[in-house]
Amino acid sequence: MSIADFASEIGSLHDFSIYFPSFNHRELGQNLAQADIGISGKAWLSFCISFSICTAILSIPIVFALTAEISTSIVAPLLIIPLIAFSLLKYPAYMKKRRAEQIEWELSIALRAIALEISLKAPFEKVVGNVARMGLGPLSQEFSKIEREVEIGGSGMASALREFGERIDSLIAKRAVSHLIVIYESGVGTLALSKLTDELSTMQKAKTREYSGKMAILGLLFIAISCIIPALFSAYLIIGSSVLSIGFSQSDIFIAYGLAFPAVSALALLFIKEKSPSFLSL
């Protein structure tokens, strides 16, 4: 089941979008389309709220089992509803950015092949089909859509290429589309395509060097969060219980080492992964 199908199932529980008439559904819908999540903005908003409420309800017995306090088991889940809903609403914008970065990396490979084939007088439709079958990921999927729109949908090649550019939140991709349309209509322009490819490669090398510089600091940050802070807390537990007469229950220790520290470490790893260029995660 895709994320769009799952979101549609959960969002169909109730249409919460009617309670937010001033919400920018159009921008959300555009983010979803550019993230390749096939669902409308209103349906995604309903999913975000429905999923947040369901998660909060299911967490009530878990919180009560850990704290044995009725008030805490009710208040804590209520507090996570806006947090989960906000995170899910921002997810499409994050995914469209990562998808655009990945397609830009794949374009640096595909454009060289396109320029070479065009220079060898290969038909443009065949060149598009070859990219669709290169197995590059999102870019090959997009070129497969272009191929289907032209062969089955009856769209013109230039129109299909423009729609591809609109589906990607990337200025580089839009520039590539412009060059491809010029090549398709006039049969010339491979030199500009090669220059764009070189520019893409230079940008990706710069991003790689920048990320390598950040990794030293991010690595130290993860070591501090996952190792040093739990060790210091262990020392505090020993000193606090024996010298300062500070008592900690078994549930407190379980929450700290079984839930809190692993959760913070996982968030640190996600933060490091988010900072890495998408083409390095392939």
The 10 Å CB-count burial string (b at 16+, else e) for 30-44 is: bbbbbbbbebbbbbb
Per-10-residue mean pLDDT of the chain, 282 residues long, equals 79 78 83 88 89 88 76 81 89 89 88 87 89 88 90 84 90 90 81 83 82 81 86 80 67 75 84 72 54
pLDDT given for residue 281 in this prediction: 58
Report whether 197 contacts 106 (CB < 8 A).
no
Residue listed under structure tokens 């008592």: 247
Could you tell me the pTM of the whole model?
Answer: 0.76
Tell me how far apart the alpha carbons of residues 258 and 223 are, in angstroms, rounded to a whole number. Answer: 18
Task: Dump the DSSP string for 74-143.
Answer: HHHHHHHHHHHHHHHHHHHHHHHHHHHHHHHHHHHHHHHHHHHHHHTT--HHHHHHHHHTS--SHHHHHH
Virtual torsion, Cα 179, 180, 183, 186, nearest 10 deg: -90
The helix/strand count (H/E) of the chain reads as 12, 0
- Read off φ and ψ for residue 70, nearest 5 degrees: -65, -45
pLDDT given for residue 144 in this prediction: 92
Tell me how far apart the alpha carbons of residues 7 and 38 are, in angstroms, rounded to a whole number. Answer: 10
3-state DSSP call for residue 237?
helix
pLDDT given for residue 243 in this prediction: 66
Hey, CA dihedral for 147, 150, 152, 155, is it positive or negative?
Answer: positive
